[in-house]
Chain A
Amino acid sequence: MPGIDKCLLHVMELPGARGAAVVDWTSGLALGTVGEPSGGDFETTAAETAELARMAAEHAAFAPDPADRPDKEPPVQDLIVSTCTGFHIMRFVETTFDSSVFLHLWLDRDTGNLALARIRLQSIAERLVF
């Protein structure tokens, strides 16, 4: 049952990992950070990634049919943004209390493995709260 810092260190063990954070997407606050920020500083990066995560979580275009997952929050599991130099994975953390938290990983495009990172991020997000 690792805490935020241990989880972030596990995330950074992934090949090509440049920076990671646990972010609250309602407030845009970084609860924990490691490595380097992708956007100037960690606070700005957290606020900006939170804005993207919130939109994905709230917009109807991404919400599955409520009949399949009645009112399950958040409806989105993860977001992937690819750039010419890197990947960003934002993995939503499911908790049994009311929260709005995701794990953000910034991955180098050449040395990172997107598929592997996505699977590992899922298991780390689950262990964070289990």
Chain B
Amino acid sequence: MKAAVSPMLVRLADERATGVLIRERGALYLVDGQVVHAESPAAPGIDDLLVAGGRLPRAGWEEAIARAGARHMVGRFLVDSGRLADGELEICHLGALFDAAFFTLAPSSGPTRFRYGVSHWIGPVRPVSAAIVARESARRRALLAAIWPYPDIDSAPVVPRAPTAGRRIPGRQRRVLSLADGVRTPEAIARALGRPAFHTLIDVRRLAANGLVETPTVPTPPPALPAPLPPFGQYADPDISLLRRLRDALEESL
């Protein structure tokens, strides 16, 4: 798993760099080599978790951006203005940070860039060491594989299967299942519920392992063509005596 982690992240942590690390599927914001924020198009942001989760009205979030965004102090403002408790902000922000980092650090062949000096408007909340973020991303990948080793399920629309009568589905999985309509992907379900995408992937893989949602079939490569026949004339001469004995045996059994 170590090879999957960006070597650049290790170096930036060592040199205590400040800026943003941009990879194919997201970005990690560093201050003094520590991860202070992460964003990925595949993961709901902290605003999604707070607003869709029902903790903050959208207007309250937008006011915080308007009043503290330019100062890069949105997190602090949410707490100081009494909108959130410190613990709530930290739990929610760490949830979003590790979620986006999981997708950002996914093995990819794309380029990795770093822009020095860039900071994020959320501002300081609870920095995490880059080594912990990298290790946790690898652990999460292994956790998903251990539950149900079919990664294609993570990006496909979630298709429910007819439930077995009398089976009790845990509450959190039930809410995921209730939004599975054959159109929404796990990511769309996560946004609707105001939940980290990884947490939804865990539930979707568990549901699939229990036969409650379909596991998408991976398109198989077309079957290889049969080996061409050897050109005429290259066959060994037929064994005449063997053929005779076969004929005789068949006639005897008639």
A residues apposed to B, CB below 8 Å: 1-4, 6-7, 22, 24, 26-29, 31-32, 43, 47, 57-60, 71, 73, 75, 93, 95-101, 127-130
B27 to chain A, nearest CB (A): 20
A116 to chain B, nearest CB (A): 22
Query: Taking chain B's interface residues, is the majority helix, strand, or loop, or is none over half, making it mixed?
Result: helix
Q: B103 within 8 Å of A by Cβ?
A: no
The answer to whether A27 and B90 touch across the interface, beta carbons within 8 angstroms, is no
The answer to whether B49 and A27 touch across the interface, beta carbons within 8 angstroms, is no
The number of A-B residue pairs with CB atoms under 8 Å apart is 92
**B110-118, B168-176, B236-244 - interface stretch:** B168-176
Of the candidates A2, A29, A130, the one whose C-beta lies within 8 Å of that of B98 is A29
Q: B198 within 8 Å of A by Cβ?
A: yes
B108 to chain A, nearest CB (A): 21
How many chain B residues sit at the interface, stated as a range, is 35 or more
10 A-B pairs whose Cβ atoms sit less than 8 Å apart in the complex:
A3-B86, A4-B87, A4-B91, A4-B126, A7-B87, A26-B172, A27-B199, A28-B143, A96-B88, A97-B194
A91 to chain B, nearest CB (A): 13
Q: B135 within 8 Å of A by Cβ?
A: yes
Bound Cα distance from A127 to B88, whole angstroms? 10
Interface 1/0s, chain B 160-173, versus A by CB < 8 A?
A: 00000000101111
A47 and chain B: residue at smallest CB distance: B139
**B34-42, B50-58, B218-226, B246-254 - interface stretch:** B50-58
The answer to whether B194 and A98 touch across the interface, beta carbons within 8 angstroms, is yes
The answer to whether B87 and A26 touch across the interface, beta carbons within 8 angstroms, is no
A19 to chain B, nearest CB (A): 17
Beyond A27-B98, A58-B170, A60-B168, whether A100 also contacts B199 by CB under 8 A is yes
Contacts A27-B198, A98-B53 given; 9 further ones with Cβ under 8 A? A27-B98, A27-B196, A29-B94, A31-B90, A58-B171, A98-B49, A98-B54, A127-B87, A130-B85
Of the candidates B91, B98, B173, B202, the one whose C-beta lies within 8 Å of that of A95 is B91
A36 to chain B, nearest CB (A): 18
Bound Cα distance from A43 to B198, whole angstroms? 18
A1 and chain B: residue at smallest CB distance: B85
Complex interface: chain B residues within 8 A of A95 (CB)? 55, 88, 91
B217 to chain A, nearest CB (A): 27
The answer to whether B90 and A4 touch across the interface, beta carbons within 8 angstroms, is yes
B44 to chain A, nearest CB (A): 10
Of the candidates A2, A26, A31, A59, the one whose C-beta lies within 8 Å of that of B91 is A31
Interface 1/0s, chain B 44-72, versus A by CB < 8 A?
A: 00000110011100000000000000000
Q: B186 within 8 Å of A by Cβ?
A: no
Q: B184 within 8 Å of A by Cβ?
A: no
The answer to whether A128 and B143 touch across the interface, beta carbons within 8 angstroms, is no
Complex interface: chain A residues within 8 A of B198 (CB)? 27
The answer to whether A97 and B87 touch across the interface, beta carbons within 8 angstroms, is no
Bound Cα distance from A24 to B91, whole angstroms? 9
A37 to chain B, nearest CB (A): 14
